Amino acid sequence: MSKFIELREQFSENLEKISIKLEKSCWDFYTNSTPENLKNYEICQDEYSNLFKDKETYEKFLEIDKNELSLHEQKQLKNLIKEFDEELNTGEALKELRKKENEIAKKFNSYIPKINGQEVNKTEITKILQTETDPDIRKKAYDAKIKGGNLIAYDLTEFVKMRNDYAKTKGYNNFFEYKLKEDYEVESEFLDGLINEVYSKSIGKIREIQDKKQKELKEIFGVESLEPYHYGLLTDISKDVNEVLKDKDITLISKNIYNNMGYDVDQMIKEGKLTLDLYPRKGKNTHGFCFGVEAGKDSRILANLTNNIISLDTLNHEMGHCVYDLGISTKLTFLDRRASSPAVTEAVAMMMGDIIKREDVLKDILPPNVLSDFKNLFVEDEVSFVSKSLLIIEFERDLYKNPDVDLAELWNNLSEKFLNRVGNNNNEWATIPHYLSHPAYYQNYFRANLMKAQVYNHLKSVLGNITENSCSAEYLDKNLFKFGASVEEYDLIKQFTGKEFSAQDFIKELD
């Protein structure tokens, strides 16, 4: 056994125990936010940080001769050293960043929007913008949303500068570049190339669909030109689908989809491998997450579902993360017992999320004409997603490059470029939660969306409709999931699909 492997395994023993404990304490706090659960969560966070404050172990890792390691081991070593370096050498600066982040989150979360003096929550704002046809009420809801952005826009800009200062101590121009390279191992030039390719090849389709939607909205509101508050109204068949789903149990629908692929969901729950906490409750976090507590053994979903199409997409999405986690081989070394990369697990989850539009899973629930119109939304959704994600990524990159420019104007210019919309000269950008909590993360969704097309096309060529083939689960486990992080993301996509990762499959689908 090499010196590195010996040291890695020795260190991993504690790391594994504490990581599992930390993930469980996070789950407890997110599902039940009592002061005791918060305290326990913070204790576990400190315990985790302390592991990387052990100077002696750090020095042992530093002494290892890289040239004797495989490429994969070199990467493991680099990541370990990075975590030690962060805790030991810039621990205080990191603590300051976390503090500032929590402050801004608290400020944003405690903002309660009001319409006509009456308090409404953020879900209600979203619902109004999706369904309300009275322009007056829409404008009030939109303004209330922007007010939330106004509240934190200045703090967020200052926070970006703090993050940039931190990145400079690590030798980077700005925090976006630092995160991209250090956390996601994405080369800036590669991402730029991918963005340019997708933009240039899909802009025709993007404009076509945007024009169609804008024409519809102008007719509905009887106006010549649209204001920002007109956007977001659901005009398509999703309305009718929601009407049908209102009285259905979407958990059961999702379970059936997975059962048909060969997953025994009830058995997974019975064995304690899968835990579902799906409906809103007081003291529970209001978002949706998958907690990979222990790869191959314990995966959990926190969600806040209602019986509609977005919730069904969400549940299928989070279940996708879970089956990936549970399919990872427990024989791998601890550091590899995770998804190949954030983009790969998002690709699987996103594929499972929109399987309801690609395949016929709703055929026993929806009338045939509604089903076919609903499935036709697939391309429109892909186009909307790509234009929105390009806007979010480009804005964020420019934000970190120069936080002192007029950000409202920047947001407006990029909205014009990607969404074909004007009049967004405001702090709407500050309402995007990822900018605060997951810097430089959105590019993972963007790349995942491209990967998703390639992965799905391959599956379809081997298995046919994956929700109608009970071998799908086994195929995914054996050929994709079990490798965990032992195979790099693009190598895994190539090994799985037989082709280099590219935007080709995605672009073809837009035709």
**Interacting residues toward Zn ion by CB under 5 A:** 349
Nearest approach, Cβ of 317 to Zn ion (angstroms)?
A: 6
Contact indicator for 345, 362 with CB cutoff of 8 Å: no
Q: CA–CA separation, 149 vs 110, rounded Å?
A: 12
Q: Which residue in the block uniquely carries the two structure tokens 């939330």?
A: 148
Question: 15 vs 349, which CB is nearer to Zn ion?
Answer: 349
The pair phi, psi for residue 501, each rounded to 5°, is -65, 130
Nearest approach, Cβ of 321 to Zn ion (angstroms)?
A: 6
Nearest approach, Cβ of 13 to Zn ion (angstroms)?
A: 30
Q: What residue number has its CB nearest to Zn ion?
A: 349
Closest to 176 measured CA to CA, from 401, 26, 388: 401
Question: 241 vs 349, which CB is nearer to Zn ion?
Answer: 349
The single-letter code of the amino acid at 81 is I
Question: 263 vs 411, which CB is nearer to Zn ion?
Answer: 263
Contact indicator for 44, 317 with CB cutoff of 8 Å: no
The secondary structure of residue 467, as a DSSP letter, is: G
Question: 349 vs 485, which CB is nearer to Zn ion?
Answer: 349
Nearest approach, Cβ of 212 to Zn ion (angstroms)?
A: 29
Nearest approach, Cβ of 75 to Zn ion (angstroms)?
A: 23
The counts of H helices and E strands in the chain are: 21, 5
Question: 277 vs 416, which CB is nearer to Zn ion?
Answer: 277
Residues with Cβ < 8 Å from 88, sequence gap 6 or more?
52, 53, 55, 58
Question: 228 vs 320, which CB is nearer to Zn ion?
Answer: 320
The single-letter code of the amino acid at 224 is E
Q: CA–CA separation, 178 vs 295, rounded Å?
A: 28
Nearest approach, Cβ of 339 to Zn ion (angstroms)?
A: 10
Question: 139 vs 438, which CB is nearer to Zn ion?
Answer: 438
Burial 302-323, CB ≥16 within 10 A → b, else e: bbbbebbbebbbbbbbbbbbbb
Nearest approach, Cβ of 158 to Zn ion (angstroms)?
A: 29
